[in-house]
């Protein structure tokens, strides 16, 4: 069974991680728990990307 092109998986992971992180950081700012900054979004995106990459590629 083909697992697909890793470059496509990486791009999809990055886009989805970024989108989800923007929503989460905005929601945290909305309820007053955090401030919406692009630094927070960037750090959250990198963390989510790495966690997802490790979980998905673990066989």
Please enumerate in sequence order all residues whose Cβ is within 8 A of that of 56, keeping only pairs 6 or more positions apart, or say none: 9, 13
Is 53 a member of any domain?
yes
Structural domain boundaries, residue 46: 15-57
Is 22 a member of any domain?
yes
Signed CA dihedral, 53, 7, 46, 21: sign only: negative
Is 40 a member of any domain?
yes
Is 5 a member of any domain?
no
Is 49 a member of any domain?
yes
Kindly report the pTM of this predicted structure: 0.87
Average pLDDT over residues 50-56: 92
Is 20 a member of any domain?
yes
Give the model confidence (pLDDT) of 21-49 as tens digits.
999 999 999 999 999 999 999 999 999 99
């Amino acid at each position: 069974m083909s697992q697909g092109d890793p470059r496509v998986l990486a791009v999809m992971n990055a886009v989805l991680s970024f989108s989800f992180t923007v929503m989460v950081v905005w929601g945290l700012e909305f309820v007053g728990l955090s401030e919406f900054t692009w630094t927070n979004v960037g750090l959250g995106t990198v963390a989510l990307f790495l966690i997802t990459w490790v979980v998905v590629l673990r066989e």
